[in-house]
Amino acid sequence: MWNENRAQTAMEALLVVGIVIVIATIAGLIMKGLFTQVQTDVQNQANTVVNQTN
C-alpha cells in the first residue's frame, strides 16, 4: 500500500515537472518572439531615422 502511494506521488511529481517545463518552454518562445519583434521594430525605426537624415 505504501509503495503504491509512493509510486502515485512520483508520477504526480513527474507530471507537474512536465507541465512546468512545457509552460516554461512556451513562455520562453513567446518572450523570444516578442523580443525579436521589438528588435525588428527598433531596427526599422533606426532605418527610418537614417533615411530621413539622408
Output the CA angle 27-35-21, nearest 5 degrees.
15
Span 20-44, pLDDT tens digits: 999 999 999 999 999 899 889 999 9
Average pLDDT over residues 7-16: 94
Considering only CA atoms, which of 30, 34, 12 is closest in space to residue 4?
Answer: 12
pTM for this model (two decimals): 0.59
CA distances from 54 to 1, 4, 17 (A): 79, 74, 55
Q: Which amino acid is at 44?
A: N
Query: How far is the CA of 43 from the CAs of 21, 40, 53, in angstroms?
Result: 32, 5, 15
Q: What is the pLDDT of residue 44?
A: 94
